[in-house]
Amino acid sequence: MRWVVVAIAVASLACADGGGPDGESVDACAPLAKLPPLAAADCRASADANAFEQRLREATKDDSGSSLVRASLGEDSRVTSLCADRTGAMGEWKVRQALGARLPALRALAAGPACLAGTRVDLNRRAATVAESERAEDRCDQRARTTRDTRSGAGTPLIVARQLQECVEYEADWIFVYRPGSMEPAVFGRPQVVDPPDVRARDTASRCRRENDRDAEIACIESEGWELLD
């Protein structure tokens, strides 16, 4: 009887992780150096590649949560596998399970353009970056709370707020730009390549800040290698 219980427990874990006979596991992504590269910029900018990426987005958006999803493509420009990064603690296994269940349908999609063969497509980058910024703010807020609790007279609310902002800016690997009248920021992320430009987000944001010319600010940010995420 003990072995029956163990077997049931193992099978339950496999199902919860998206594995087993009824589904595939979607794992955390390997380092970029071990993943297929992104396609060349001119390929990614083409109408056919954009249409293919949009099909992948539509097929995965309901299951991605706040994860960064990377789709690897074979030499026939069809999806071969998915991986997901930073899906969020409590719901991580659900995201991986749901994405694993999507794999058969993704593999059955019409092939992308030939220039995508052997490459990867990154999906959900904006939502994943916004979620990471929120996690960083939570971490910094917790540190600020700890400081206030352990140090008497740690500073005025204005000083504490400034310390929180500096903490978030130190952690940031993203840049937000708010256009006048817009509630949603333009979100910029570091290029997803093996050796991205070695420039800090807060330094670029400081150099490029334009109070009255957001277009010039955005052009400056992009000139330093940051990518606008959509």
pLDDT higher than threshold 70 for residue 147: no
pLDDT value for 110: 97
Residue type, 150: T
What's the whole-number mean pLDDT along residues 80-86?
A: 91
pLDDT higher than threshold 70 for residue 38: yes
Residues, the chain, total?
230
- Pair 121, 68: CB distance under 8 Å: no
Cα(192)–Cα(227) distance, integer angstroms: 9
What's the whole-number mean pLDDT along residues 168-191?
A: 91
Average pLDDT value for the chain: 85
- Pair 64, 95: CB distance under 8 Å: yes
Cα(35)–Cα(84) distance, integer angstroms: 12
More confident residue, 144 or 102: 102
- Pair 114, 45: CB distance under 8 Å: no
Mean pLDDT check: name the lowest of 27-31, 135-139, 152-156, 181-185: 152-156
User: Which are the contacts of 147, defined by CB distance < 8 A and separation ≥ 6?
Assistant: 154, 163
- Report the percentage of the chain scoring pLDDT > 70: 83
Cα(70)–Cα(227) distance, integer angstroms: 17
pLDDT higher than threshold 70 for residue 92: yes
Cα(56)–Cα(194) distance, integer angstroms: 23
Q: What is the pTM of this model?
A: 0.81
Nearest to 43 by CA among 21, 68, 73: 73
- Pair 67, 124: CB distance under 8 Å: yes
DSSP symbol at 123: E
